Structure 1
Amino acid sequence: MRFWVGAYAADSGAAEGIGLLQAGEADSPGASGPLGMVGTAVAAPGSPSWVAAHPTLDLLYAALESDGTVQAYRRSAETRLAPLGAPIDAGAAVCHVAVAPDASHLVASCWGDGRVVRIDLDAAGRPSRPVIAADASDPYGADPTGETISTGARVSGAAVPDLAAAARALREAVGEQYAHFVPAYDDVPVTDAESEEAAAGERVSRAHQAIFLPGGLVATTDMGLDLVRFWRSGAAGLRPVQEVVLPKGSGPRHGLWHPSGHLYVVTELSREVFVLAADASGRWSIVSGQPLIGTLDTDTAAELCASRDGATVYAGVRGSDTVGVLSVRGAGEQLQLLALADTGTHWPRHHVVVADTLLVAGQLADEIVSLPLDVRTGIPGRVRHRTPSPSPTRLLPLR
């Protein structure tokens, strides 16, 4: 089986552009065999940190993060890509692209300036006409709206557990001797890139992902302002419908649509997975949350993916370089942490499940590794195979 590999190029990493990975035999539906990089499919010095496929055509779209543009590529040979048209301006540090199921447009998310951008696609898949969506506003600003609950979070519905208060209470209860065993949920970590803003007391918008949901709805995450925003897409651009506010400083990064009808969202800074759902009127709210217990204060969560049957969810954690294994409970409204497993690589930026194998892109280790999954528990074992791969950030199966 083969995978496109998004990566950071010479300006931010070591890759030449979009790579091509082979896992096992090329015609195998699984990925449990030896790993090897086939080579660079196309040079992309602007750092194609995220790639997404057209739903029907043999085309790929890349977020060229350092260039702030989105570029389309067509497959020109079995292992080669070629640019299709000119790059489209999106915004500073564009880090994600998602293509609509009907292939009418894509949505780009920009970490640097918080932009969410709708970009048209024509019948041949060429992108054009970027339309910037409405800016996000800080829900924790001078004039917040919504219901205040004990965490300080303002959500459209259910209460979120006050993990900070719980940590303080538990630390006091166990005493000084055992206090260091209590996760420091009252000490939200700050990434290096945000340290100056935090020191100045600033909060800025940092869009990170778009997810297409059934019924034509689009959800986007804003890591800087702790928002999940919902939109309707049309020819005039994205129309805001609703937003759900997560706990302050949690940093919602990536989401995963589950067949049960729930949206799972992993938070980069607080290292939790929240479950969102819509009520009968279509109004979204938080229904539960599961902390990735055992992670470190200096860790940052990265990616979410699910097993083939949707019964298990995997949340990558950079720093301690682990993956949280969560069991889907009830009708999908609850997640239970089963294990925190070692990925065997450094800085697991992205991961994907293929049948009985977990593939992990170790960005700072310059490698991709594969781990077997236990057939009963879904928990990863030790690394089975690894291959050098410069600054990998995204693994996308070839169709």
Structure 2
Amino acid sequence: MRLLVGGYSPDMEGTAAGIGLLVAGDADAALAGATLSFRGTVVEAASPSWITAHPTLDVVYATLEGEAMIRAYRRIGESAYEPWGEPVAVGELPCHILVTPTADRLWVTCWGDGRIVTIGVDATGRLRDSADLPAAEDPYPGFGEERTPHAHQSVALPGARVATTEMGLDQVRFWRTGLGETRLVQEVVLPFGSGPRHMVWHPSGHLYVITELSCEVYVLAPDATGTWRILSASAIGAGLMPGDGAAELAPSRDGEFLYGGVRGSNTIGVLRVRGAGDRLDPVALVESGVVWPRHHRVVGDTLLVAGQHSDDVAAMSLDIRTGVPGRVRGRVEVPSPTCLLPAR
């Protein structure tokens, strides 16, 4: 399996030269294997910390985080890409890109200043116009010093809706899209200082939200009126350390388990989905095999973990019955990896 790797370059105190190529197992297989090989840089770019793919075209989009830009890249060979169109300026420290299901817009969340920017996409995958969405306001005024917004991720939901996390202000915001406009319809407030970071939309109709600062996973769902609310919350696992910060949340292939990465203690928390999807139970907290697990991805029975500070990617086997990752079966040096994306 081929995967593109985003990473940090020297402008963000990293060592990556651009978007890299990782091969896990057989390069032409649909699933990953434990034998890992890093094939170098497929296109030079300055800190492409997050990359995502167009759903139908051989085009990927990257956050050039230090430059506050988004750029499209087109595949031109087996392992080569080129810039496609002009970059588009966004907010400070863009950290995530969502391509809408209709593939006509990108949603960009910016950690540095909290901006959410949408960018048009033409029929060839090039970037067009951009627009800012309304800024978030702190739902906890008067709780101390003024807080800074930090938008972090967007997830597409059924019914032409998008959810975004506002890590700095402890909110999950819900938007309705379509008919040429985007409208904020609701904000769900999480506990003060929890720091919602990334989300997973589950087939059961629940939205799972991992919190960077409190290291929990919240379960959100709409009621009969369509109003979103918090149903439950669970710690990522027992044994976390002071100063830990959660990063990515990823589901198992069958949706029965969730995997939450924790930087600091460098662990992966395993949670089992219970009931109708409205409850999560911690199962295990295991070593991630890397330092600073920034991102991870489940591919079949393999968990691939990107170690931002150890400059490597590790492959761990998953126990299908318990969902718990086993020992590291493969490892390869990769410069400052921050994102893993299956490549076509």
Give the TM-score of the pair, scaled to structure 1.
0.84
How many Å apart are 1:289 and its aligned residue? 0.2
How many Å apart are 1:202 and its aligned residue? 2.6
* SS state at 1:215 partner: coil
How many Å apart are 1:273 and its aligned residue? 0.2
Determine the C-alpha separation between the residues in 2 that align with 1:219 and 1:44: 29
How many Å apart are 1:39 and its aligned residue? 1.1
* SS state at 1:81 partner: strand
Q: Render the CA deviation track for 1:59-114: whole Å, top value 9, x for unaligned.
A: 10001100111100100111011011110011100111000011010100000010
Determine the C-alpha separation between the residues in 2 that align with 1:382 and 1:319: 19
Do structure 1's residue 211 and structure 2's residue 212 form an aligned pair?
Answer: no
- Which residue of structure 2 lines up, in the alignment, with residue 262 of structure 1? 206
Q: How does 1:300-311 map to 2 (within 5 A)?
A: 300-311=245-256
* 8 Å CA contact 2:294, 2:338 repeated in 1: yes
* SS state at 2:159 partner: helix
How many Å apart are 1:374 and its aligned residue? 1.0
Determine the C-alpha separation between the residues in 2 that align with 1:282 and 1:398: 36
Q: Render the CA deviation track for 1:127-149: whole Å, top value 9, x for unaligned.
A: 1111000010000015xxxxxxx
Q: Highest CA radius of gyration, 1 or 2?
A: 1
- Which residue of structure 2 lines up, in the alignment, with residue 240 of structure 1? 184
Do structure 1's residue 336 and structure 2's residue 281 form an aligned pair?
Answer: yes
- Which residue of structure 1 lines up, in the alignment, with residue 55 of structure 2? 55
Determine the C-alpha separation between the residues in 1 that align with 2:211 and 2:267: 15
- Which residue of structure 2 lines up, in the alignment, with residue 94 of structure 1? 94
* SS state at 1:11 partner: helix
Q: How does 1:188-199 map to 2 (within 5 A)?
A: none
How many Å apart are 1:33 and its aligned residue? 3.1
How many Å apart are 1:387 and its aligned residue? 0.2
How many Å apart are 1:307 and its aligned residue? 0.6
> Which protein has the bigger helix share?
1
Determine the C-alpha separation between the residues in 2 that align with 1:376 and 1:97: 33
1:317 aligns with one of 262, 272, 292: 262
- Which residue of structure 1 lines up, in the alignment, with residue 4 of structure 2? 4
How many Å apart are 1:234 and its aligned residue? 4.0
Q: Partner letter of residue 43 of structure 1?
A: E
* 8 Å CA contact 2:160, 2:178 repeated in 1: no
- Which residue of structure 1 lines up, in the alignment, with residue 306 of structure 2? 361
Q: How does 1:1-399 map to 2 (within 5 A)?
A: 1-12=1-12, 13-45=14-46, 47-142=47-142, 201-234=145-178, 237-292=181-236, 293-399=238-344
Q: Partner letter of residue 389 of structure 1?
A: V
Determine the C-alpha separation between the residues in 1 that align with 2:261 and 2:181: 32
Q: Partner letter of residue 214 of structure 1?
A: P
Determine the C-alpha separation between the residues in 2 that align with 1:238 and 1:82: 31
Q: Partner letter of residue 378 of structure 1?
A: G
Q: Partner letter of residue 212 of structure 1?
A: A
Determine the C-alpha separation between the residues in 2 that align with 1:69 and 1:125: 16
- Aligned-pair identity in percent equals 56
How many Å apart are 1:27 and its aligned residue? 1.3
* 8 Å CA contact 1:329, 1:335 repeated in 2: yes
Runs of at least 4 residues of structure 1 off by over 2 A? 233-238
Alignment gaps of 5+ in structure 1: 143-151, 153-199
How many Å apart are 1:263 and its aligned residue? 0.4
* 8 Å CA contact 1:361, 1:367 repeated in 2: yes
Q: Render the CA deviation track for 1:178-228: whole Å, top value 9, x for unaligned.
A: xxxxxxxxxxxxxxxxxxxxxx82311100000011111000001000010
* 8 Å CA contact 1:114, 1:206 repeated in 2: yes
* 8 Å CA contact 1:118, 1:238 repeated in 2: no
Q: Partner letter of residue 395 of structure 1?
A: L
Q: Partner letter of residue 296 of structure 1?
A: M
Tell me: CA distance 1:61–1:235, structure 2 relative to 1, closer, same or farther (3 Å). Answer: farther
Q: Partner letter of residue 49 of structure 1?
A: S
How many Å apart are 1:376 and its aligned residue? 1.1
How many Å apart are 1:235 and its aligned residue? 6.5
Determine the C-alpha separation between the residues in 2 that align with 1:202 and 1:41: 42
How many Å apart are 1:236 and its aligned residue? 5.2
Q: Render the CA deviation track for 1:22-68: whole Å, top value 9, x for unaligned.
A: 001111222123101111010002x1000010011111000110011
Determine the C-alpha separation between the residues in 2 that align with 1:235 and 1:361: 39
Alignment gaps of 5+ in structure 2: none
* SS state at 1:86 partner: coil
Determine the C-alpha separation between the residues in 2 that align with 1:306 and 1:360: 14
* SS state at 2:106 partner: strand
> Which protein has the bigger strand share?
2
* 8 Å CA contact 1:372, 1:383 repeated in 2: yes
Determine the C-alpha separation between the residues in 1 that align with 2:10 and 2:247: 22
Give the TM-score of the pair, scaled to structure 2.
0.97
Determine the C-alpha separation between the residues in 2 that align with 1:238 and 1:388: 42
Q: Partner letter of residue 45 of structure 2?
A: A
